[in-house]
Chain A
Amino acid sequence: MDKKILDLLKEKPEKGLEKLINTYSGLVYTIIYNKLNQYFSVEDIEECVSSVFYEVYKNRSVIDLSKGTLKAYIAVLSKRRAIDLFRKNSKHVINQISLETQDLEDCAVNRLFNVEDEVDAETKDMLIQAIKALGEPDSEIFTRKYYLGQNSKEISGLMGIKQNTVDKRLSRGLLKLRAIVDKMEKPQEMEGK
């Protein structure tokens, strides 16, 4: 499927874009909407979604499917572009007391996304494993909640599970994850020697 879309984008861009957007608009829109809906209009969010697709179109010749699926590439791109849009416009959407203008942006962006922070690969790997280990449908519920940013009501509607059940599963799953995160919180071997 991914290869077919990329081939179409190269040879028949119009059809390729049609296919690309039909396939991934839900994913891209969900990620961007849930990051920005408190601060931006639907128009702005749709424009950001469109920018993601345009970027895929621009990079159609250099996207390397051996490094990952188009879905993952697009999902990562969507998160980045949502952050970029917020960062660019942060002056318009925040109130802060700092007198240092740049701090206004940094502070708000960090509060929303913590983009300056790094998380090591091991931590991320542990978290993915932990979410997978929850089993279905909890694994999907967690992905929707914490990766896609959907709330219980939306998850309930999309997965056909009662909202009450979604909340319970989230709560129980969190207990399991907490143990893992607590473990990660303990000081590891010291560096800096």
Chain B
Amino acid sequence: MDKKISHTLDLLDIEETDRLLEKDIKFKLDSNSIERIKKSTYSKAGISRQKTFVTRGLSAIVAAMIIIVVSIFSIGFDNVVSAMGRLFGFIPGYGIMEDNQSIQYIIDGHNISSENSQAILTINSVIATKNNLTLNCYIKLKDFQEEKNLSNIENDIKTDKNNLVMAVNGKEYRPSGCSIGSGGKIKYISAAYQIEQDNLSTRNIYTFNYKKYNLSAEFRLKVPEGYDSLEEIGPTDTKNNISITAVSSLQDNKLLVELYPVNKSGLTITSFTKEYDFGYEKKDLTLETDQTSHSYTLPEGFMGVNNRFYFNVLPQEKNLTLKIPYLVVKSQEKMKKITLKIPEEGERVTINKKVNFKNSTMVISDVQRIKNGTLNGALRIYFKFENENKNMVMFNAQFRRVNILGMEQGGGYSTNLKDGIPQSIDYGLDEPDGDVLRLGVKDPEYFLLGEYNLKLSNILIGR
């Protein structure tokens, strides 16, 4: 109830807010805060009589986020071509950023790891900005027992934060924030630490200690290199305002290709490969050589969007070209609410209800009440798509049950595919649904067409 009211009031527009706040309300704020806010605002506005004032905490967080935004999820307003003229920074295992001024240091070395009888800890990347250090690592458990109880996994993650300790110059730091992907044999961790500038330098030795597993790894920092172009980092191709740079290395006698995008499209990349078994027109990422076409294998596990692909290439193979026929992307837009009348059991009703997104339209053509072995059955919802942009082929979206206030409720659905493309979903019905099912539709997913061709060198030659 409390949440519903607060949530509804959060969404008031200006006119509605006016009505709610028409009475004058008294506030209390200390004069020091007001003074700091004024100084900061004057500084932003370029009014010179005030001294420059930058809050340390936020600037560090924002700096760290800039890298993430550019390298993985960028929603930019200029395009990749204009970005080409800038200086690039590259952090192996992490990403590409357009301007590395905000990054002072990165880890010196790569894949630094340590091992004991329980697990193997590997540090993927470390970046340090002013007062902030972010570490990404993973833990591979040797004796893994699958935890089936979700709440145990959640509790485990909650307590884990305090086990991630960074030490430097005799001082210990706990994360100011972290993300943990868990529940499987491999745990992925991203932890951010607020560290004083004095303790961030190339002279120090840093010890990362995952106390839960009694595993620690030491590393130093170094100043990152700058690159004048993406091609200096690796072969690069650009389509639809997204450039992809490939970086090759040798791992366990296999060719490992890591893909690093600079994304100015306003869309979020969710995959470089097919999503379901078939892929768009049965195409998928491949490595072509003068002798054959190689399919890829994936790492044992990954967090977020996988950008690492392994190929069994022979040393004598030449003319290696990585072909990425399309990207899978999603467009983050406001959830669209729909209300569907639930027909009688077995009955199929044509409705042709349109759900409009920025780049395409989902047409819910029919609804049918079906038996699915549960008490209330399910509503099968058939859909098709109308695409305005020929390079963007919509193929899916996320469905959520909502209440009349538009707030998400529990529930789930299964997807029915034809040639790897969703054709309909079966949304499980509950008794309280009555004769209507209210759904929110969000995150339209697309195949973003335009083949990337990245010419790689065969680093196995001469081995």
User: Chain A: residues with CB nearer than 8 A to chain B?
Assistant: 13-14, 17-18, 21-22, 25-27, 29-30, 40-44, 46-51, 53-54, 57, 67-69, 71-73, 75-76, 79, 88-89, 91-102, 104, 110, 113-121, 123-125, 127-128, 131-132, 136, 139-140, 143-144, 146-149, 157-159, 174, 177-178, 181, 184-188, 190-193
Closest to B439 in A: A192
From residue A141, how far is it (CB to closest CB) to chain B in Å?
Answer: 11
Q: A50 to B41, Cβ gap below 8 A?
A: yes
Whether A131 touches B20, Cβ cut-off 8 Å, given contacts A14-B49, A73-B14, A192-B353, is yes
Chain B residue contacts of A57, Cβ below 8 A: 41, 44-45
Knowing A13-B47, A50-B40, A184-B404 touch, does A95 contact B158 (C-beta < 8 A)? Answer: yes
| CB contact under 8 A between A54 and B334, given known A46-B55, A110-B408, A117-B405 | no
Interface contact B192-A92, CB-CB below 8 Å: yes
- Stretch binding the partner chain, chosen from B84-92, B100-108, B149-157, B311-319: B149-157
Is A188 a contact partner of B177 (Cβ separation < 8 A)? no
CB neighbours of A187 from chain B (8 A)? 404, 434-436
| Pair A102/B14 contact, Cβ less than 8 Å | no
CB-CB under 8 A from B19, the residues of chain A are 128, 132
Contacts of B190 on A, CB cut-off 8 Å?
A: 91
Pairwise interchain contact B57-A43, C-beta atoms closer than 8 A: yes
Q: Which residue from B73, B268, B440 sits with its C-beta under 8 Å from A117?
A: B440
Known: A13-B47, A119-B406. Is A46-B33 also a contact (CB below 8 A)? yes
User: For residue B404, which residues in chain A have a CB less than 8 angstroms away from its CB?
Assistant: 123, 184-188
State the CA gap A11–B49 with chains docked (Å): 16
Does the CB pair A53–B37 fall under 8 Å?
Answer: yes
- Contact of A95 with B38 in the complex, beta carbons under 8 Å: no
**Out of B5, B303, B338, which one reaches A146, CB within 8 Å?**
B5
Residue B305 at the chain A interface, CB threshold 8 Å: yes
Q: Residues of B within 8 Å of A, CB-based: how many? A: 99
Cα of A57 to Cα of B38 in the assembled complex, Å: 12
Q: Is A88 touching B334 in the complex (CB atoms < 8 A)?
A: no
- CB pair B44–A44 under 8 Å, yes or no, is no
A99 and B10 within 8 A (CB): no
Let me know if B37 and A25 touch, CB within 8 A: yes
Total A-B residue contacts, Cβ distance less than 8 Å: 267
Contact code string B1-30 (vs A, CB < 8 Å = 1, else 0) = 110111111111111111111010111110
A116-B335 contact, Cβ under 8 Å, with A147-B9, A158-B28: yes
Asked if A114 and B305 sit within 8 Å, CB to CB, the answer is no
Which residues of the other chain, A, contact B72 by a CB distance below 8 angstroms? 101
Q: A97-B153, A116-B335, A192-B340 are in contact. Are A127 and B9 (CB under 8 A)?
A: yes
A67-B17 Cα distance, complex, nearest whole Å: 11
Minimum CB–CB distance for A182 against chain B, Å: 10
Task: Judge whether B212 is part of the interface by a CB distance below 8 angstroms.
Answer: no
Stretch in contact with the other chain, from B61-69, B224-232, B410-418: B61-69
* CB contact between B157 and one of A88, A97, A174 (< 8 Å): that residue: A97
Contact A25 B34, beta carbon cutoff 8 Å: yes
Please tell me if the beta carbons of B25 and A143 are within 8 angstroms of each other in the complex: yes
Q: B390 interface residue, CB < 8 Å from A? A: no
Contacts of B241 in A (CB 8 A): none
In terms of DSSP, what is the predominant structure of the interface of chain A?
helix
Q: Is the interface of B mostly helix, strand, loop or mixed?
A: mixed
Asked if A119 contacts B11 (CB within 8 A), the reply is yes
CA–CA, A60 and B117, complex, Å: 64
Q: B407: CB under 8 A from chain A?
A: yes
Cβ–Cβ < 8 Å partners of B33 in chain A: 25, 29, 42, 46
In the bound complex, do residue A79 and residue B10 qualify as a contact, i.e. CB atoms below 8 Å apart?
A: yes
Contact status of A96 and B339, CB under 8 A, knowing A116-B440, A124-B12: no
Q: Contact flags (1/0) for B426-446 with A, using CB distance below 8 Å?
A: 000000001110001010000
The 8 A-B residue pairs with the shortest CB-CB distance in the complex, in nearest-first order = A26-B27, A92-B177, A101-B304, A68-B14, A50-B40, A72-B17, A43-B55, A117-B406
Whether, in the assembled complex, B291 has its beta carbon less than 8 Å from a beta carbon of chain A, the answer is no
Q: How far is the CA of A47 from the CA of B53 in the complex (A)?
A: 10
Contacts of A68 in B (CB 8 A): 14-15, 17-18
User: How close is B367's CB to chain A, nearest CB, in angstroms?
Assistant: 8
- Other-chain residue from B38, B334, B337 in contact with A18 (beta carbon distance below 8 A): B38
A26–B177 Cα distance when bound, in Å, is 28
B150-191 Cβ-contact flags toward A at 8 Å (1 or 0): 100110011011000000000000001111111100001010
Rounded to whole angstroms, the CA-CA distance of A123 and B38 in the bound complex is 38
Q: Contact check: which of B6, B29, B158, B334 meets A116 at CB < 8 Å?
A: B334
Complex Cα gap A43–B8 (Å): 28
Residues of A within 8 A of B12 (CB): 76, 124, 128, 147
CB of B38 within 8 A of CB of A17, answer yes
